[in-house]
Amino acid sequence: MPELPEVETIVQALRSCLIGLVPIKVICHKEKILRTPDLLPKALGYPIKDISRKGKLILLWTPPYVWLIHLKMSGQLWWQPQHKPLPPHTHLIVSFAETDKQLRYADLRQFGYWQIVPEGKLSQVPFLQKLGPDALSVTPKLLQDRLRKRKTAIKSVLLNQECLAGLGNIYSDEALWLAQIHPLIPASTLSSTQIERLAWAIKKALIRGIKLGGTSIRDYLHPDGRKGLYQNYRLVYRREGLSCLRCGMPIKRIKVAGRSSYFCPMCQKV
């Protein structure tokens, strides 16, 4: 699933090409992809004023409406001329006034969705109500408040979007390695020093991911089809059996909350 750096990279790319354009037509081939088809006719014809991100959610602002896009497991956004063949598994196409380019949404697993919400009702969207603070804005105090009563493994807590929004399997592992914290340590037992180190590590891992354009291991691509570069510079994720970049010990893999978690048994002791 695209995580915060991948979604942020997409948002930055879309800002450069969509701001000011007016959506005039939407074709949706899968009903479940567009959750609010009744609002679609009303939402067309307004220029895109801004594009932002909340956790892993993309927001297209066309006042008085907001378009929410969640890529989930395998969603992809393509910015392409209409004469170009559609990418495989394209389920939704947005056409704009005064340009022959289209915003195309492809999704192999079809878990992603689009939703249109009146701007005044955005705060009432259940998904947004449950979402925790953005992981990119984490501070030691904020993190301490979020972890204080959570007795489950720190890796599980970092994956919980109600705790921090935007982290996923890749950058959680990277942050824990940077902070030298074992993924199974109960979150509530972290010392103030560990929490301070982890807050720094989360931001460092995410900023590093954004600078490298995200991680293209499976489905993630930039809207123009380019791959991200982070997979070439991973610190610990999917490096099982390879030497730790810090101490040389072979990296190990365990399951945490049903997800593969990679760590160094020397640097990240329980």
Same domain, 106 and 161: no
What confidence category does residue 219 fall into, taking pLDDT thresholds of 50, 70 and 90? confident
Active site residue 3: yes
Check which CATH number belongs to the domain holding 187 and give it: 1.10.8.50
| Catalytic hit among 56, 101, 104, 239 | 56
Active site residue 2: yes
What pLDDT shows up at residue 175?
98
Same domain, 125 and 139: no
Same domain, 167 and 70: no
Give the residue from 113, 130, 147 where a domain finishes: 130
Mean pLDDT, residues 213-226 taken together = 93
CA 16/CA 19 separation, integer angstroms: 7
Give the residue from 76, 105, 130 where a domain finishes: 130
What pLDDT shows up at residue 270?
85
CA 79, 80, 81, 83 torsion-angle sign: negative
Same domain, 92 and 147: no
Q: How many domains in the chain?
A: 2
Active site residue 98: no
Mind listing the pLDDT tens digit for each residue in 17-46? 999 999 999 999 999 999 999 999 999 999
- Dig out the tokens for 123 from the structure: 């705060």
Active site residue 41: no
Q: By CB neighbour count within 10 A (0-12 exposed, 13-18 middle, 19+ buried), where does 156 fall?
A: buried
Q: Which domain holds residue 196?
A: 135-263
| Catalytic hit among 2, 23, 183, 223 | 2
